Amino acid sequence: MEEPVLPAFSWPTRPEDQPDISPVAWRDITPEWAWGGSTGKGVKVCIVDSGVEADHPALEGAVKGGVVVQRSPDGVVVREEPHEDLFGHGTACAGIIHSLAPEAEIYSARVLGQNLKGGGDALVAGVRWAVENGMDVINLSLSTRKYEHVVALHDLADEAYFRGTVIVAAANNMPVNSYPWLFASVISVASHAEPDPYTFYYNPNPPVEFTAPGVDLELAWAGKTTSVGTGNSYATPHIVGIAALIQGKHRLAPFHLKTVLYYTSKNVREALGGRP
């Protein structure tokens, strides 16, 4: 009997033609299973922000490259070149990620200037560069409220999702709608006040999905200095760092990774009986 001609994206009818899967029982999804022994080695993380100070003592050579995104009369220009952090915000995020995943490769897409302004078109260009250059995890501790950029960002978030790139984005520090953290294909993060960098919570009340440390944190800062800061911006790289550890060990699809974060969050582990 001949095999039927199937519509696009249909599942193969013969079992031997179906792709292999390797399911894991939910009881086995613990922090030790998820990232125990991982350093993030081989994982490429891009920080789309104000730049990253590559020679900061807190980063120990982790920065491997990046781009500068600038607006010009002819449109947005993207140049691959070494660069500094014009503010300190991106370096702070990089320092948190490196402290959690010390062997992850950090890349920078500088889209913000000295006043932490850059424009939604620069943000779109920075995210596009990260997606097209195969970053495994993208840290977005910024957002835009301008609706004219929402469609482009939404399309990029979907493209990242289908490519296997995980976008982790900070919820706005104010109770307003901004993007891309509100997209379902993006992992959204807000803050809690506990100091342990590995303690994060699943939030059952949308739209924010997870909370991580983000209050009175000591941060790496521009000029080889440190600073103390509070904000969802600094909670986000905690989830990025843990995601890099998980990807360094398992290489999961974005929705699998989100499931692992769910089962390893503190409140879910406690609800399941205090699993380690």
Question: What pLDDT does 66 receive?
Answer: 96
Alpha carbons within 13 A on the beta-carbon side of 37: 4
Q: What is the mean pLDDT of residues 78-84?
A: 95
Do the beta carbons of residue 15 and residue 54 sit within 8 Å? Answer: no
85 found inside a domain: yes
pTM of the entire predicted model: 0.96
**Is the pLDDT reported for residue 248 higher than 70?**
yes
Identify whether 31 is part of a domain: no
Q: Summarize pLDDT for 2-40 with one digit per residue, the tens.
A: 777 889 999 888 888 888 888 899 999 999 999 999 999
Task: Supply the CATH number for residue 92's domain.
Answer: 3.40.50.200
Model pLDDT, residue 28: 95
- Residue 114, beta-bridge partner list: none
Q: Answer whether residue 28 is part of any domain.
A: no
pLDDT of residue 210: 98
112 three-class SS: coil
Q: Residue 68 has what pLDDT?
A: 97
Q: What is the mean pLDDT of residues 225-241?
A: 98
pLDDT at 123 over 80: yes
| pLDDT tens sequence across 250-270 | 999 999 999 999 999 999 999
Q: Report how far residue 6's alpha carbon sits from residue 9's, in angstroms, rounded to the nearest whole number.
A: 8
Average pLDDT, the chain: 96
Spatial separation of the C-alpha atoms in residues 81 and 250, rounded to whole Å: 31
Mean pLDDT for 58-84 is 93
What mean pLDDT do residues 178-204 have?
98
Q: Looking at residue 14, what is its pLDDT?
A: 84
Distance from the Cα of residue 105 to its chain's centroid: 13
Tell whether 265 is covered by a domain: yes
Residue 10 lies inside a defined structural domain of this protein: no
- 12 is a domain residue: no
The strand ranges marked E within 222-265 are 225-229
pLDDT of residue 22: 86
| Burial label, 160 (beta-carbon count in 10 A; 0-12, 13-18, 19+) | buried
When pLDDT is averaged across residues 220-224 and rounded to a whole number, the result is 97
What pLDDT does residue 115 have?
87
For the chain, what is the domain count?
1
Q: Does residue 2 belong to any structural domain of this protein?
A: no
pLDDT of residue 1: 60
Q: State what percent of residues in the chain have pLDDT above 90.
A: 88
Task: Check residue 112 and give its pLDDT.
Answer: 97
Q: What percent of the chain has pLDDT over 70?
A: 100
pLDDT tens, 197-220?
A: 999 999 999 999 999 999 999 999
Does 13 reside within a domain? no
- Give the per-residue pLDDT at 6: 86
Q: Using 50, 70 and 90 to split pLDDT, how confident is the model at 73?
A: confident
pLDDT for the residue 77: 94
- State which residues form the domain around 54: 40-271
